Structure 1
């Protein structure tokens, strides 16, 4: 791929804007030699204003989503793309969220421009476990674990029961819940079915991939080791 197209696809600007960057000598190789728009150079050897290029297509990252941000490209309020380098929103293929966390839910959010990987993660056939920690308005009744694990719980306005889920009490009004599907507002609706209300919700883990010490609002690229942990949930 010619460099001008590569840089445009990475979000550095339109074809016209990127062409101007080449004319201004802002695109060089690792040794500082000026590159030209139709050059074909290894991704790792290209520099823009002396800085390495953003990650190549196939990008996968993990974001610690704070409360108050939506998983959308268009929203009048704050969106998760505001927490990333501005160019990331302009990448082609599109950098998409892998599923969603609602505005009032914090935690581990995956993003990728790899369509096949995104489909694999969200596909019901994968049965990828997702771990949530919920704070509740009322004390647990005591029968939630058995109900959620039964595979018979039916959510309002749906006609198929939920897959079995695992609940672990963490206190009178706190619980850890592990799901293998991702229906709309599922955790909140599950507790609503028991007469309770979720006041705070956090997702610390997907598969065996955890947030670790990643601060809220920060992100990091994932490597092969991370992806292995994501899918190795046995």
Structure 2
């Protein structure tokens, strides 16, 4: 990759800003000053800016605990989006949220600039499971649970059989619901179809990824090597 593009991708400025830095003799590769932005950065090369080693990966994978009130979108003229929660130094070209959570839905959200991985995780034929913690307006009855487990037919699709686990000591009002699609408002529509209503919704798992209990709403972290390995395996 060209040096100017490499530094721009690491958020050292626009391509124009980076070219000025390079021409000002502020950038080096493997101990040698470089004044030509078209020079290629070889794998494993040590790049420095003002004597400081440049770090960070060009391809990133972030696990976020999405807070309520934030849009799952790349940008919006009027409202805050999940990309606005990413620190400038952590942003990369092409970074986007994989899938979507409604504005009032919280929980696990994957953000990456690995388009191939994101596409694979969202592909309908892969049926990547997603588990939600659902707070209900009224207790879940056995008949409701049976309907969810059998699948529900809507006008445009029929949901695959869902897995329902009732949290103990919740008065049947707190359940874990695992689905295999990702249709618009799907969980809310499924509960409405069986005669109930969702009052709070949080995604706690997507494929092999689980929401860390110590990750506060609005915060994010890079995937661990183990998590990334499990995710890459899941996409095959």
- The question of a shared fold, defined as TM-score above 0.5 by the shorter chain, is answered with yes
Alignment of 1:6-85 (within 5 A): 6-29=6-29, 34-36=33-35, 37-41=37-41, 42=43, 45-48=46-49, 50=52, 52-56=54-58, 58-75=59-76, 76-85=78-87
1:168 equivalent in structure 2: 165
Q: Secondary structure at the match of 1:125?
A: helix
Mean Cα deviation higher: 167-176 or 5-14: 5-14
| Residues 152-192 of structure 1: CA deviation (Å, up to 9, x unaligned) | x123xx23311111111112211100011111111111111
CA contact (8 A) 2:128 2:181 kept: yes
2:150 equivalent in structure 1: 150
- Distance in 2, matches of 1:162 and 1:154, equals 6
CA contact (8 A) 1:88 1:95 kept: no
Q: Secondary structure at the match of 1:147?
A: helix
TM-score (structure 1 length as normaliser): 0.85
Shift of 1:45: 2.0
Shift of 1:144: 2.2
Shift of 1:79: 0.8
CA contact (8 A) 1:10 1:87 kept: yes
Shift of 1:202: 0.6
1:159 equivalent in structure 2: 156
- Distance in 2, matches of 1:74 and 1:83, equals 11
State whether structure 2 residue 130 is matched by structure 1 residue 130: yes
2:104 equivalent in structure 1: 104
Shift of 1:87: 5.4
Gaps of 5+ in 1: none
Cα RMSD of the aligned pairs, angstroms, is: 2.4
Gaps of 5+ in 2: none
Alignment CA distance shift 1:219-1:200 (3 Å): same
Count residues in correspondence: 226
CA contact (8 A) 1:44 1:52 kept: no
